[in-house]
Amino acid sequence: ALDPTKPASSKTYVKIGGILSQCGYSDGAYQIVLGIGINATNPRPTTSLSDLLPAHASYSSSSTLRLETLLARILTRLESLYAQFRREGFTEALERRYYRHWLHTGQVVSLEAEGGLRARVLGITRDWGMLRVEEVDREGRRTGRLWTLQSDENSFDFWKGLSTYPAPQRRWPSTHNN
């Protein structure tokens, strides 16, 4: 969410929740386990949904965050998106929607398993959902080395810009398009 303590023009974000997911494909079916956590009411350590309500035009002083309504809304939207994914797969339209809400394209991260190599996030691969990054030099200039990284579970912290990924799964010359 945009940090309510900063001017909207600064585009400074704070974390109000997180999602842990594990996905597999077996016997012709996707299996997804999701854990979703949202800071709904506690203003620490960053902010909460309750703190963000007054910034919205539709907010009135009698408006309160109802956890039951929030949970119902999340589950119905998630169910709808999952049904669409099962029917159509990871379509270009779903990918565009994903990137509209994703904050990390262009972020510079450090690949600790590669001696602190710096890389700029490009996105994710369409086939396996692995992170696509391009190595950058000390000045932030592109080197042309593209990496596709597979997470070793909870090793990536976007907010710290740090990855303890193992060595990349694949390296491509800069002419490769994925």
Query: Does an H or E element contain 27, and which?
Result: none
Kindly state the percentage of the chain with pLDDT values over 90: 21
173 pLDDT higher than 50: no
Residue-level length of the chain: 178
Residues 53 and 126 in one domain: no
The domain boundary residue, chosen from 100, 128, 162: 100
Q: Which region, left, alpha or beta, applies to residue 55 given φ > 0 means left and ψ of -120 to 50 means alpha?
A: alpha
Domain that residue 141 falls in = 108-172
Q: Are strands 156-157 and 117-124 parallel, antiparallel or unpaired?
A: unpaired
CA angle in degrees (0–180, nearest 5) for 168-102-176? 40
The predicted structure's pLDDT at residue 144: 92
Q: Mean pLDDT, to the nearest integer, of 145-161? A: 66
pTM: 0.64
The domain boundary residue, chosen from 59, 76, 100: 100
Q: How many domains does the chain have?
A: 2
